[in-house]
Homo-oligomer: A and B are copies of this chain.
Amino acid sequence: MPVRLDRSSADFDQRFAAFLAAKREASADVEAAARAIVDDVAKRGDAALLEATAKFDRLRLDASSLRVSAAEIEAAVKACEPATLDALELARDRIETYHRRQLPKDERFTDPLGVELGWRYTAIESAGLYVPGGTAAYPSSVLMNAVPAKVAGVSRLVMVVPSPDGKLNPLVLAAAYLGGVTEIYRVGGAQAVAALAHGTATIAPVAKIVGPGNAYVAAAKRLVFGKVGIDMIAGPSEVLVIADDTGNADWIAADLLAQAEHDSSAQSILITDSARLATDVEKAVEAQLKTLPRAAIASASWADFGAVIMVKNLGDVVPLADAIAAEHLEIMTVDPDALAAKIRNAGAVFLGPHTPEAIGDYVGGSNHVLPTARSARFSSGLSVHDFMKRTSILKCGPDQLRALGPAAMTLGKAEGLDAHSRSIGLRLNLS
């Protein structure tokens, strides 16, 4: 059974704090193993990459078969159901439309002294997109990563995806095709991250690596961070549903289970001021679990990490929601917009009863790569910004240097940096 917390009980603060602090991921120390693989690929390149692939994916490749051929991609597209391809195309188009609005604007202005200032955005030259193999191989995630990169103007977009025992999900290749990704390598794990970061004879290095992966992938990304950019360290997914007595228990239960079915470490939370709704949702969850294909995963997630939190009135939920800082926040109350405006920490908000989170996962247009594990307190979902960078611009003429130079010289001297001061003084004949 999921935990039940009551905001009005005497020990609520303590229990809520414990709930927030609970770890949902096994903290098996995979770092040493990931480091050994990364170092090996950095040193021995393709040879190490091929050995690791033979070992972990049970797949013997050579340098010439690392890359997925155009013919394979074409065949995968042909193997997909037309209705699925249509849905992927709809998703791609809507993601593209949404993300085009994120393209940042350059700025250039002249201040009252005549100093020219501003900044300029440019796309990252190359990006690597990690796509998990096996059960977590989601074509929708390929689009969610590839489309913003393309919109940003990344000219070289490389995908890596493991093919355990040689198996590749045709939908993943089809999504890559629709997202405009043509350079794909059938490698995964820490070895693929290392190849993208350090480069091998076959795989040229990239400037930034994005995309989710297992604990080894996460550890490898953390290790190569600095050498290349990374997006985030993604954890198990979570949803917070806030509902009042107007909420539909069946719909809410379905949404909680949609989160829970991802992973036994996923987390589904309901906060409500309605005891009736809380009970009805719990019953509906049990009922729906009976016919759910992934019931084993979903029921483990719900039992181990699910929660129903009772509040006296909906105003009380704001600090709780901000502390939870959910990846996905659904609000099904009489006035969802008003409540959403008060909540500060959430990766994405889904407003009203007709916006199940699954719409946002696929075809809403916004990105489904979102901050997990309370990181919405300090970070944002994937966007076009993740594939661009900003160069600041400064231009003084002699008059401006004369106006600003003395203050800068004062600070340079105060910091013990005389060469800083001198670089200005020489120009002003002040040194």
Contacts and interface: CB of A to CB of B under 8 A. Distances in A.
Interface in A259-302: 260-262, 288, 292-294, 298
A391 B359 contact: no
A423 interface: yes
A407 interface: yes
Interface string A397-431: 11011001101101110111111111110110000
A135 interface: yes
Contact of A87 (B171, B225, B408): B408
Contacts of A254: 419, 422-423, 426
Nearest to A403: B363
Interface stretch (A3-11, A60-68, A373-381): A373-381
A222 interface: yes
A167 interface: no
A9 B331 CA distance: 66
Contact of A346 (B86, B111, B140, B391): B391
A404 B94 CA distance: 11
Interface stretch (A47-55, A177-185, A347-355): A347-355
Contact of A416 (B135, B257, B371): B135
Contacts of A405: 359
Interface stretch (A116-124, A186-194, A306-314): A116-124
Given A261-B419, A422-B288, A378 B228 contact: yes
A340 B119 CA distance: 12
Interface string A355-371: 11111111111110011
A363 B408 contact: yes
Interface in A84-115: 84, 86-88, 90-91, 94, 97-98, 101, 107, 109, 111, 115
Interface in A125-141: 125, 135, 138-140
A376 B208 CA distance: 11
Interface stretch (A71-79, A156-164, A382-390): A382-390
B395 A351 contact: yes
A258 B419 CA distance: 5
A335 B352 CA distance: 56
A111 B139 contact: no
B427 A229 contact: no
Contacts of A385: 385
B407 A91 contact: yes
10 contacts: A83-B410, A117-B364, A125-B322, A222-B222, A225-B225, A349-B392, A352-B395, A356-B427, A358-B424, A364-B396
